[in-house]
Chain A
Amino acid sequence: MSAIGKYVGALVLVHVAWLLFYLVGTLVLRPARTSRTPGGAAADLAVTTACGMALVGFATFALGLAHLLYPFTPVGMAVVAALIFAYRGDAPWRAAFWTSRFDAWRAAASPGAFAIYAFALVYGFASARPDLGGDTTSYHLVYAAEWARAHALIVDPTLRVPYYATNWLLVDTWFMMFGLTDQTQTLSWLTSVLSLLGIYGFVIASVERDGRPAGTFALVLGVIAAASVALSTVFLETSATALIDVPIGLFFLATVIALTHALRARSGEQLAACIVCAAFLVGMKSSLLAFYLPFAFAVVAAAIRLGAAPRRIAVALVAFTVLAAPWYVKNFIEAGDPISPALNIPLQGVDPHWSADDFHGLSYDLKLGEDPSPLGNLLVPLKSLTEPSSPAFRADGGTFIVLLAWVPAFVAALALYRRQRPHARDDALVACLIAFAVGYWMSTSYQSRYMLIFLAALAAFLGMLAARAAVRYPNARWWAAAALAFCAIPSTQNQAAARNMLAAFDDFQANYHDRESWMMNRAPTYPEVQSISDALQRSGRTDLRVYRAYLEFDRLYFTQRGVRVAGDLFGPERYLDFQQAIVEDSIASYVQRYHIGAFLFPTQWEGNFPRAEQAALAVELGALGFHRAAVSDRFDVYLARDVR
């Protein structure tokens, strides 16, 4: 299949998934009550789809605990959803069910929305390229692959972070179930499209009043606000991978949109959508537990504002807590720490998986290469544009919007001063959430792709301010547009990144013929993975693990072949301990402890381990009955005696 054909196939699949997520999402946001103006409808479309993704994720967690993750399970989920719709008087077998939803989509159609979608179709092409190795193949997608194979939420103790919060991968699991590995990237792309449509819709909806559509100028502002994110190569590159940063950004944006619209329209359904999206976000990554309290106060404040009775406020808070908690409760039961090892190490000094050195090493790595002094912090947004590829940021570039990351804190502080005014409190709620997200980014890591958590919401917020200013001061509206356009200016480093992306497009289109040959030719160790997996399966020894040194990126490929592995930068089977074991001639203990049937490591290993010691390792493995398999010159493969 050609590259274009592969992309079109992925698009068809993901659009079907989009429709299904949207339908599930209408359990929360009923289309009859959503907006029919272009801006409001586009924003509601994004929020409703995000709600659907979240509900699917929550259901998958429950089904995974019950060992019910099978290919036919979605059919059962669809039947249950249909019954709930019918119970609520909105049965799918009635025409009104479909016409109301079709109307909601049609209302979201506007020239700006189509322009954004068309642009997304172009950059989405990169999402069809198979991932040749990265964080996704070393651990993110490995969770989903493990669950899909085991039909349950199992925990492999040799995973990099076995006790983590991984909501988004629950959604990916259904793709992995059907062998649609690359299509998880196109699913990420879908979340990027929803983010851009959400920004666009939110900006326009901020000046739509009483069901009247905003003028053309607001549509232009919506497009510019979306462009301030869409022209950032950090966003574009991450959208084409199965990394969870763009989905996280969507759920933060959806929370902000639903919260704002709940207050503006005095809608309990929008507040429910806010709760669903916020709770899902809290469970998307362990460090996002930090957002539990801000979201909880936002939900409570909004519920009070809507005039909810105290009992209803309590129900909203409990619902948010219960939906946000599953991973943390599970991890607490299994590892004694809801965010293992972040509490275990400081409080207990020990963790089932991580050592203190691992923990401190990762903490150091997250803030690598940047001066954490106040002045250094102050320059971080600017440096993320001028030195994007430095160890601190590890990206290609961004847009100027990051220079205005202080604006939400400013609006929050100002609105708090005026908090006796209800509308100032509305602004303060959203501004406080975004300010908190900016602080979270700078407190945890400076990496550019981690700022994607707030980038879409920041663009929507700044766009809202610009749109309001344009309405308030009509003669100065071009100033508002210019200020917003400043946010969309790409940094100069984007030019090189854009050229690289286009070159990658050309390469993919010209040279991709089928996935297997593409992977065999381009993915490091992929031929070795296939060879080792074949040997283990031929010998009937799939119970044995493969130890890989400095090659954690190939974990997904082994998992998909049903082969368990060991060896990582962190954890009990860490590489440094492996090297120490070689020096001490104690590889035998590794073989016994991890039940190892094969070893794989780079031949050119001088950087970490002297060639003389490699020879010592070869002798030691020979003494243990391992023999060397000739697969390639780049990697050494040793197989156990009974593996041929």
Chain B
Amino acid sequence: MSETTDAPAGGFCSQCGAERLGAFCWNCGAPADGPARETHAPTTAAGTPRDPPPRAPMAPAARPTISLPAVSFPTITLAPDAALPAAVAFAAAIASLAFPWLALLIGLGGLVAVANAEWRSRTAVSPPPTEIGDA
């Protein structure tokens, strides 16, 4: 699936209280810090339009109070740059069952790669001070 923003996920919208995923609220379109936007087509820092949210916004008051749960499967579109990695990852995961050493390799190799990536990003930018860092 494609992600519409590189900003870290998490938090709640300061405008409507809904879960904020990425830099913008999926519900009302408000950015992380600032007033609600008129449009639900957030833009990147470069000003180019981002992908629209997957469905139209729904005001909290419009939700029925008592009803059967609305069940609908979201439309998940795989961007071309994500489809291939997903397919490769799926194939690797299934193959890891057929060849247990591959599961061991993905596990151990992955941890080495993550440790390396952490180290590289640490040397690239100064991390904020933390409890363990200051202690």
A440 to B105, CA, bound (A): 11
Asked if B114 contacts A429 (CB within 8 A), the reply is yes
A216 to B93, CA, bound (A): 33
Write the nearest CB–CB distance from A15 to chain B, whole angstroms.
33
Asked if A432 contacts B110 (CB within 8 A), the reply is yes
Asked if B100 contacts A419 (CB within 8 A), the reply is no
* Residues of chain B lying within 8 A (CB to CB) of residue A378: 94, 97-98
Give which listed residue, B21, B73, B113, B133, contacts A476 with CB less than 8 A.
Answer: B73
* 1/0 contact string of A448-476 vs chain B (CB within 8 Å): 00000000000000000000000111011
* Residues of chain A lying within 8 A (CB to CB) of residue B54: 473
9 residue pairs, one from A and one from B, having the closest CB atoms: A436-B107, A439-B103, A268-B132, A413-B89, A410-B93, A432-B110, A442-B100, A297-B111, A307-B133
Closest B residue by C-beta to A268: B132
* Residues of chain A lying within 8 A (CB to CB) of residue B85: 413-414, 417-418
Asked if B131 contacts A435 (CB within 8 A), the reply is no
A209, CB-defined interface residue at 8 Å? yes
Give the contacts of B27-69 with A (CB-CB under 8 A). 54-55, 69
Number of interface residues of B (CB under 8 A): 57
* Residues of chain A lying within 8 A (CB to CB) of residue B96: 406, 409, 435, 438-439
Write the nearest CB–CB distance from A403 to chain B, whole angstroms.
10
Asked if A443 contacts B104 (CB within 8 A), the reply is yes
* Residues of chain A lying within 8 A (CB to CB) of residue B19: 209, 471-472
A305 to B122, CA, bound (A): 8
Give the contacts of A343-383 with B (CB-CB under 8 A). 374-375, 377-378, 380-381
A431 to B89, CA, bound (A): 12
B79, CB-defined interface residue at 8 Å? no
Asked if A436 contacts B115 (CB within 8 A), the reply is no
Give which listed residue, B69, B73, B114, B127, contacts A432 with CB less than 8 A.
Answer: B114
* Residues of chain B lying within 8 A (CB to CB) of residue A266: 130-131
A293, CB-defined interface residue at 8 Å? yes
Asked if B93 contacts A406 (CB within 8 A), the reply is yes
Asked if A294 contacts B97 (CB within 8 A), the reply is no
Write the nearest CB–CB distance from A439 to chain B, whole angstroms.
3
A306, CB-defined interface residue at 8 Å? yes
* 1/0 contact string of A418-444 vs chain B (CB within 8 Å): 111111010011011111111111110
Known interface pairs A297-B108, A440-B104, A475-B70. Does A407 touch B133 (Cβ–Cβ under 8 Å)?
A: no
Q: Which residues of B contact A (CB under 8 A)?
A: 6, 8-12, 19, 21, 26, 54-55, 69-74, 85-86, 88-90, 92-94, 96-108, 110-115, 117-119, 121-122, 127-133, 135
Tell me if A's interface is mostly helix, strand, loop or mixed: helix
* Residues of chain B lying within 8 A (CB to CB) of residue A437: 107
Asked if B86 contacts A414 (CB within 8 A), the reply is yes
Asked if B93 contacts A413 (CB within 8 A), the reply is yes
Give which listed residue, A294, A411, A413, A417, contacts B111 with CB less than 8 A.
Answer: A294
A275 to B89, CA, bound (A): 29
* 1/0 contact string of A271-315 vs chain B (CB within 8 Å): 100000000000000000000011001101101111111001000
Asked if B100 contacts A435 (CB within 8 A), the reply is no
Give which listed residue, B21, B98, B112, B117, contacts A472 with CB less than 8 A.
Answer: B21
